[in-house]
Amino acid sequence: LRVNPPSVVFDNHSDPVSTLVKVDSANKQGCLLQVVQLLTDLDFIISKAYISSDGGWFVDVFHVVDQLGQKVIDESVIGFIKKALGATKEHPVPDAKTCLGKPVADAIDFEHSVIELTGYDRPGLLYEVSEVLTKLGCNVVGAEVWTHNNRVAIVVHITQAVKGGPVSDPAVLAEMNDRLCSVMESDSTRIEARHSYFVGEAQTDRRLHQLMFADRDYEAAGMNIFPTGAGDEKLNPSVSVGNLTGSQYTIIKLTCLDRPKLLFDTVCTLTDMQYIIHHATIESEDDVAFQELYIRTMDGSMLDTEAERERVVKCLEAAILRRSPKGICLDLCTGDRVGLLCDVTRVLQTHNLSITAANICTRWGKAVNEFYVTDSANRPVDFSIIEAIREEIGPEMLTIRNVAPPIFSSSSPPQEESSFSFTRLFRSLSLGLSRENQSKRAPLSSSLT
């Protein structure tokens, strides 16, 4: 008989610098993504992971620390994770927070509408979108913007400015549809503006990946942005895909600069491409991440064609680059009000800046926003322009954050592997995870559907 609920163990003794999070259950498609999503949403840094979900069992071991580099010892956060994964029926502490003070259940917890847009990117686009919404009496309570390969994906959370709640008036929705289509299609008749309106919460990061994937932003991936000999080749991540001789696995090897949410981005992309990750080893050292993933298609096959393997390379490159914006980051923190996003983005447009990424949040009446910006030609912004913008908006409200250099892509060709070994994958067995116990675990609860 299987044991119910699944096992979720926090081990603060086996590793001197990180907490080991062990998840052991019966296998079900999508479990891995949802576990990684949960750890990512809590802002944990995953330095290592050993993943195995072959056959009917599922066992993952994650080495994690919080944003301050400390082990996870807060019982309220641990309780929240166990509850979310169905490992306990106890109610978590309602005001549990991360080490930086962010509520672990941080979300827009009231009814609202969500708008999704994709299209060609251009300077001033976010200003035009926010202007349409403001003129239609909408308040932007949250938004996320990603750009890649001259494409843009935008997810905007809005409410009615006066009454609150989602936008439900058919006339307003129709006018919003027409105006936003006009904004997104203004540069080219080839653009297909896709958008939808729905009430409730969305996994924004995953939706952004799905929107850009559907918009085929990966088709220009694989370029050597930094030419060999320029001194910046180390910024180019490497992705190779090949079939293992003597087995039924396709192996993916990925190396790039490490950053938060990297594992989520790769797992999300492969899952949405309908591949199953059966085994994986994830490590990072000296700010460089190494991922080795053993995958199959949904019907249990390897990736048989060169075209299919090359597509996986391009899609993984794109998944890395979407969350690696160019430019400097401007942080805005001020009291929230209707039209704030429109006013701020208008100032940026007036100074001919392009927004390469943006995150818009509203918490307890405060607007906490970040904008990554370049000039209109995607070059670094002159410091005098930034200072002029700060003076116009308010130097106490707008600050400059130092950011790491962007990551650009270069792929190595697919290759056939000459041997098949899970030596590194099963290091987790030394942590006391026996096959006997693994075969007795229950499926993850319905909360992981």
pLDDT of 190 over the 60 cut: no
Question: Which pLDDT belongs to residue 209?
Answer: 95
pLDDT, tens digit, for every residue of 154-179? Answer: 999 898 999 888 888 889 988 998 89
What is the pLDDT, as a whole number, of residue 416?
A: 46
Res. 109 pLDDT band, cuts 50 70 90: low
- Pair 153, 212: CB distance under 8 Å: yes
- pLDDT, tens digit, 9 for 90 and up, residues 214-241: 999 999 744 444 434 434 445 578 999 9
What pLDDT is attached to residue 191? 28
pLDDT digit string (tens) for 339-350?
Answer: 999 999 999 999
pLDDT above 90 for 4: no
Query: What does DSSP say about strands 138-148 and 151-160: parallel, antiparallel, or unpaired?
Result: antiparallel
Decide: 98 and 66 in contact? Cβ < 8 Å: yes
Mean pLDDT of the chain: 81
| 171 against 193, higher pLDDT | 171
Measure Cα distances from 82 to 12, 19, 46 in Å. 16, 15, 18
Q: Which residue has the higher pLDDT, 351 or 362?
A: 351
Is pLDDT above 60 for 423? no
Question: Do the beta carbons of residue 152 and residue 211 sit within 8 Å?
Answer: no
pLDDT at 437: 43
Least confident of 206-220, 275-289, 398-412: 398-412
The confidence band for 426, taking pLDDT boundaries of 50, 70 and 90, is very low
Contact 222, 411 (CB under 8 A): yes
Which comes out higher in pLDDT, residue 97 or 11?
Answer: 11
Give the span between the Cα atoms of 401 and 47, in whole angstroms: 24
What is the model's pLDDT at position 401?
Answer: 86
Rounded to an integer, the average pLDDT of 36-49 is: 92
Alpha-carbon gap, residue 258 to 216, rounded angstroms: 25
Is the predicted pLDDT of residue 115 greater than 50, yes or no? Answer: yes
More confident: 312 or 168: 312
- Of 34-38, 181-185, 400-404, 432-436, the poorest mean pLDDT is in 432-436
The pLDDT-based confidence of 293 (bands split at 50, 70, 90) is very high
pLDDT of residue 392: 95
Find the range with the poorest average confidence among 164-178, 310-324, 370-384. Answer: 164-178
Whether the per-residue pLDDT at 433 is higher than 80: the answer is: no
Average pLDDT over residues 398-404: 75
- Rounded to whole angstroms, the Cα distance separating 206 from 30 reads 13
pLDDT tens across 50-100, in order?
999 877 788 899 999 998 999 999 998 999 899 888 877 776 555 677 777
What percent of the chain is predicted at pLDDT more than 90? 55
Say what the pLDDT of residue 127 is.
Answer: 97
- Reply yes or no on whether the pLDDT at 255 is more than 80: yes
